[in-house]
Amino acid sequence: MENKRVHKLREAMAERELQAMLITNPINRRYMTGFTGSAGYVLITENEAYLLTDFRYMSQATLQAKGFNVLEHGVKPMDSVRDLLAAANLKEVGFEQDSVTFGTHAAYAESLQSVKLKAVSGIVEQLRMFKDADEIAVMQRAADLADATFSHVLQFAKPGMTEREVDLEMEFFMRKHGATSSSFDTIVASGERSAMPHGVASSKVIGQDELITFDFGALLDGYCSDLTRTIATGNPVPELRKIYDIVLEAQLHTLENLKPGMTGREADALARDIIAGYGYGEQFGHSTGHGLGMEVHEAPRLSKLSDDVLKPGMVVTVEPGIYIDGLGGVRIEDDVVMTETGIHILTKSDKKFTVIA
């Protein structure tokens, strides 16, 4: 039975007049084949789908790569690719230009000899934008684990701990409950550091009367979640509570009005216009959201420069924020699936203003 993703890729290849496509990006390789090993080359032609790997992975690849002809490549993998192309009388092959270095391209050209290399951008990534029911089920479990981790950290984190101590506990909790790892370097940013949108956990001690921003996710069965919540210790100054309420209003407004057919810039404006209306437009310097899937940042983008059209099956984040240097910042983020009529929210952690002792 043909792999459905191979069928869709062949349709995309036909649109670009490609007779063969070589896939070497590890994420795209796993997406196309289901193979989770660390080494391999995917070659798709009009009639064949090959996964070439080395002797270490032959048994694993045969079990995982349904619908693929699994072959053990030679000492030089590109020599095996060249032989397969020659057997099919193919004189041209596409390669992933965004994943291949100049040096690697030169090595490909030397091995493939008379076969023409055609640079291709985003052919698999375009397919990955649209999640099927199985993918969304995995992403729901990854979101559930992020929610459970946040509930756990609310009971664990206390003033006097360092950000790194809290980060380590979160990582341990996610791994203990099934995650391969965190989706990215966990952000635990407290006090003035909460004004750093990417303030990864540091040796700073969490103090009283501060905000703490947690931005994290679980990588589970190949898919990422991405959750942000901001909480308080003690009694922060009134402006911090004010910007929390503004960010929450902007985030909720976006979730209530986000729908398929919008462009990324239209979606971004749902949050940005509210924040700017309160006079904090200059303190919201990043986009409202991004695509999410096997990588934590994928297409489409919800930004003021994006013409990406949101369509059913896409999974995106909604994460407005306000950041005031020398004082602190707030970000609130959820993961959502675009549906035929609106959205389905995957992450469910409470967003009320929460204070821990």
* Among 294, 236, 349, 325, CA closest to 27: 294
Model pLDDT, residue 357 = 81
Distance CA 12, CA 124 (A): 9
Cβ atoms within 10 Å of 215's Cβ, excluding its own: 24
> Could you tell me the pTM of the whole model?
0.94
Name residues whose C-beta falls within 8 Å of residue 300's C-beta, 6 or more positions apart in sequence: 129, 264, 290, 291, 306, 308, 309, 310, 314, 316
Cβ atoms within 10 Å of 4's Cβ, excluding its own: 10
pLDDT digits (tens, 9 = 90+) for 18-58: 999 999 999 999 999 999 999 999 999 999 999 999 999 99
Q: Does residue 261 surpass a pLDDT of 70?
A: yes
Model pLDDT, residue 31 = 97
* Least-confidence region, from 110-114, 196-200, 221-225, 286-290: 110-114
Model pLDDT, residue 1 = 47
Can you tell me the mean pLDDT for 151-158?
A: 97
pLDDT bracket for residue 3 (50, 70, 90): confident
Element of type H or E holding 183: none
Can you tell me the mean pLDDT for 148-156?
A: 97
Measured at the CA of 145, the angle between CA 142 and CA 149, to 5 degrees, comes to 140
Q: Does residue 2 surpass a pLDDT of 70?
A: no
**Phi–psi pair at 78, nearest 5 degrees:** -70, -25
Q: Sort strands 20-23 and 92-96 into parallel, antiparallel or unpaired.
A: parallel
* CATH architecture assigned to 133-356: Alpha-Beta Complex (3.90)
Q: What is the DSSP letter of 282?
A: G
Domain-wise residue ranges, the chain = 4-128, 133-356
Distance CA 181, CA 217 (A): 9
Counting residues of the chain whose pLDDT is more than 90, the rounded percentage is 98
Residues 232 and 238: beta-carbon distance below 8 Å: no
Model pLDDT, residue 113 = 87
Tokens of 240: 């911090």
- Most distant CA pair in the chain, distance: 73
Can you tell me the mean pLDDT for 292-304?
A: 97
Element of type H or E holding 51: strand 49-53
pLDDT digits (tens, 9 = 90+) for 7-21: 999 999 999 999 999
Model pLDDT, residue 262 = 97
Distance CA 273, CA 332 (A): 16
* Among 256, 284, 285, 286, CA closest to 270: 256
Distance CA 34, CA 57 (A): 13
Residues 212 and 231: beta-carbon distance below 8 Å: yes
Q: Is pLDDT larger for residue 44 or for residue 113?
A: 44
Distance CA 130, CA 299 (A): 10
Q: Does residue 92 surpass a pLDDT of 50?
A: yes
Cβ atoms within 10 Å of 228's Cβ, excluding its own: 26
Can you tell me the mean pLDDT for 246-257?
A: 98
Decide yes or no: CATH 3.40.350.10 for domain 4-128: yes
Distance CA 339, CA 262 (A): 12
Can you tell me the mean pLDDT for 248-271?
A: 98
pLDDT bracket for residue 155 (50, 70, 90): very high
Q: What mean pLDDT, rounded, does the chain reach? A: 96
Distance CA 69, CA 47 (A): 11
Can you tell me the mean pLDDT for 349-356?
A: 97
Counting residues of the chain whose pLDDT is more than 70, the rounded percentage is 99
